[in-house]
Chains A and B, each alone.
Chain A
Amino acid sequence: MNVNYIWYFLTFLTLVSAIMVVVVRNPIHSVLYLILTFFCISAHYVLLNAQFLAAVNVIVYAGAIMVLFLFVIMFLNLREYTAESKTNLVKLGAAVLGGVLLVIIVAALRSMQIEPLNKATYNSQVGMVESLGKVLFRDYLLPFELITVLFFVAMVGAVMLGKRETGERNF
């Protein structure tokens, strides 16, 4: 079977579900489409032979973060969704911002050069967890540790915010 066709199909599915995230009115459906998008992206990772990234993408994004999204929306959206009307100023601002973002992306893509695949030096195991770990803990150790510090700070902040103060009732 030709892998290209799978790639085309997956890309099509990714784009369609990504567009649906924005288009559908019901927030729950939106979230479900977003989950589908993440799945397709994971499938792309598998096609690139990066199974670890695929699995972690599913676990972290589809498995944890989106569950939280869904969780929050389920709490909020007990009634039918009513679209609030937006003022013209907001619409204009959104259009300008979106346009600028599009221009930036296009400019970035234009200046980017994709190196052709070098069959001699290409290593099919590059996406495996071993090589990923080596890169992460040798070449990018400092950024990696900084990210952990950032997460730690964020976690402490979340705990502080969520902590019950004396005399406060939480339910």
Chain B
Amino acid sequence: MDSTVFIVRSIIIFVIFGITLLIATYSTYAERKVAAFLQDRLGPNRAGPFGIWQPLADAVKMFTKEEFIPAQANKWLFIAGPCFAMLTALMASAVIPFGDTVQYEGQFIAVQGIDINIGILWIFGIVSLGVYGVMIGGWASNNKFSLLGAIRAASQNISYELAMGLSIIAILMMSGSLSLRDMVNQQATPFLGVSGLNWNIFYQPVGFIIFLTCAFAECNRTPFDLPECETELVGGYHTEYSSMKLGFYLFAEYINMFVSSAVISALYFGGFNFPGQAWVASLLPAGALGHNLLTSIGVVVFFGKIFFFIFFYMWVRWTLPRFRYDQLMNLGWKTLIPLAILNIVVTGAGLLFDFKPATWLIVIFVVVLAVISAAQPRKTMRPQQSTV
């Protein structure tokens, strides 16, 4: 690797790192603004115009608060918990392909931290490690509520990781690659002359819904934010945390949100591809400049998609109430996992008979069943809950 490539690479890595942090910072502000707007309020608007310096004010507040470690806590693990949460959250964005290649002195450099050929597995590994931060912190606090929160987080993450992995396998079967860049590039080919119709969402609607649900659960976002459920567990795993250690936990959550939004848009919504790409490319000048311009448009488009999903996370948070814990487990194990397995089988059959949108059959089947059931007269009473 010669030095220019190395320099451009390191710039890209630093920019990705900085952007991840910046977006996480402003997600906290966006969360408050979106929450306010959805509730007919205005949200923070005192720090600077429209309150855009609010994250800075929050950071100052976080840093100057009292650093508190409970006397009976396991001190090292108590400190290690939030550090671990932050570390794992930051590692995942390394493999996300933010854009196509940058042409620089005849070389093509990918706008991506590293393009390893197991990108999606990397993200999975990191996400599955993310729960340690929560578990260690919750246990080390030596507080029953924290422990309960940690245990909830662990069981929830394991349950939903399964369904998430299974829902992705269908996509892996279609793309035949574990590299996120390959998957994104495969979605670029136009279908019936329109680029954008080849996105995986049009082939994997069921997988998308499963993945989206699981992503909510993995990020501990409402309606699955049971590890930090205030009504039952005070603050959940971060009950005992204060100051910037608490800030790390909250920050890690927003970074996870950013990463999962990026993964959703890369896997199902074509990543940095956009409709009319070929037309835009024909308008731009040929050569390095045109190529780089197209890449930067792609990056902007990709971030647009990411922002939409971050917004979607917040939108759902302020719409749906929290699940009960047994409902959460039932949904994960009894609905999503069988559905994901069915999805794999149908996708496999579709690939065998060369009919890619096969999983729409599941959707059609379910819709037909639903319509039939809606047409039938209802049973009079709901059966009593058999539990307890």
- Contact, chains A and B (beta carbon distance below 8 A): yes
Distance in angstroms from B352 CB to nearest chain A CB is: 16
- The reply to whether the CB of B344 lies closer than 8 angstroms to some CB of chain A is no
Contact between chains at B154 and A63 (CB < 8 Å):
no
Instruction: Name which of B21-29, B116-124, B369-377 contacts chain A.
Output: B116-124
Known: A56-B121, A59-B124. A28 touches B129 (CB 8 A): no
**Does A58 contact B139, Cβ atoms closer than 8 Å?**
no
The answer to the question of B209 belonging to the interface, with a C-beta cut-off of 8 Å to chain A, is no
Check B118–A71 contact: CB distance below 8 A: no
Contact status A67-B131, CB under 8 Å:
yes
**Given A67-B157, A67-B158, residue A58 in contact with residue B151 (CB < 8 A):** no
Other-chain contact of A68, B132, B136, B158 (Cβ < 8 Å): B158
Chain B residues touching A, range? 20 to 34
Q: Considering the chains assembled together, what is the distance between the CA atoms of A54 and B147 in angstroms?
A: 30
Question: Using Cβ atoms and an 8 Å threshold, which residues of chain B touch A70?
Answer: 132, 135, 139, 154
* Interface flag for B225 (CB, 8 Å): no
Given A35, A63, A64, A75, which contacts B151 in the complex, CB threshold below 8 Å? Answer: A75
Residues of A within 8 A of B131 (CB): 67
B335 beta carbon closer than 8 Å to chain A: no
Does more than half of chain B's interface fall in helix, strand or loop, or is it mixed? helix
Question: With contacts A28-B139, A52-B118 known, is A71 near B161, CB below 8 A?
Answer: no
Q: B74 contacts which chain A residues (CB < 8 A)?
A: 28
- Closest residue to A55 on the B side, CB-wise? B121
Residues of B close to A62: CB separation below 8 A: 125, 128-129
> What are the interface flags for B348-383 relative to A under an 8 Å C-beta threshold, 1 for contact and 0 otherwise?
000000000000000000000000000000000000
* A9-B388 Cα distance, complex, nearest whole Å: 55
Give the CA-CA distance A70 to B121 in the complex, in Å. 23
Q: Point out the residue from B121, B158, B161 that lies within 8 Å of A52, measured CB to CB.
A: B121
Cβ of B299 within 8 Å of any chain A Cβ, yes or no, is: no
Q: Which A residues touch B331, using CB under 8 A? A: none
- Bound CA–CA A129/B122 (angstroms): 13
Chain A positions within 8 Å of B124 at CB level: 55, 59, 63
A59 touches B117 (CB 8 A): no
Contact partner of A74 among B118, B122, B129, B135, CB < 8 A? Answer: B135
Within 8 A of A (CB), among B143-176: 147, 150-151, 154-155, 157-158, 161
Whether A129 and B117, one on each chain, are in contact in the complex, defined by CB atoms closer than 8 angstroms, is yes
Q: Would you call A51 an interface residue if the criterion is a C-beta within 8 Å of the partner chain's C-beta atoms?
A: yes
Q: Which residues of A contact B116 (CB under 8 A)?
A: 51
From A32, A78, A169, contact of B136 by CB (8 A): A32
- Contact A59–B121 (Cβ < 8 Å): yes
Kindly state whether residue A128 has any CB partner on chain B within 8 Å: yes
Bound CA span A28–B77, Å: 10
Please give the residue numbers on chain B whose beta carbons come within 8 Å of chain A beta carbons, in ascending order. Answer: 74, 77, 116-118, 121-122, 124-125, 128-129, 131-132, 135-136, 139, 147, 150-151, 154-155, 157-158, 161, 178, 387-388
Interface CB pairs A-B, < 8 A, 6: A32-B77, A56-B121, A59-B124, A63-B124, A75-B151, A171-B388
